[in-house]
């Protein structure tokens, strides 16, 4: 996500459009990007540390962006053969 002090013209454009589309009560919109990484093996503290380093050095521009690393269990593929 862009840091709060960085202007977000895309988020502002979305915010201005929402009332015209019938969505009221949204006071702010910030746009961002998301990366999903699938990890081989267990996600232990060492794996999380490597992923954090990857995000900080390669995926995020830390001058203007904040980032968060979180773990989610993979969802089953819809319609998968059992």
Which mean pLDDT values do the consecutive 10-residue runs of the chain (82 residues) have?
A: 95 96 95 92 92 95 95 68 52
pTM as predicted:
0.70
Closest CA to 11 of 29, 26, 23: 29
Residue 52's contacts (CB-CB under 8 Å, 6 or more residues apart) are: 69
pLDDT score, position 81: 55
pLDDT score, position 37: 92
């Amino acid at each position: 996500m862009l840091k709060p002090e960085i202007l977000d013209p895309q988020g502002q454009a979305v915010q201005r459009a929402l009332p015209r589309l019938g969505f009221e009560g949204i006071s702010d919109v910030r746009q961002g990007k998301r990366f999903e990484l699938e990890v081989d093996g267990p996600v232990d503290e060492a794996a999380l540390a490597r992923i954090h380093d990857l995000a900080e050095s390669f995926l995020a521009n830390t001058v203007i962006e904040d980032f968060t690393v979180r773990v989610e269990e993979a969802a089953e593929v819809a319609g998968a053969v059992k």
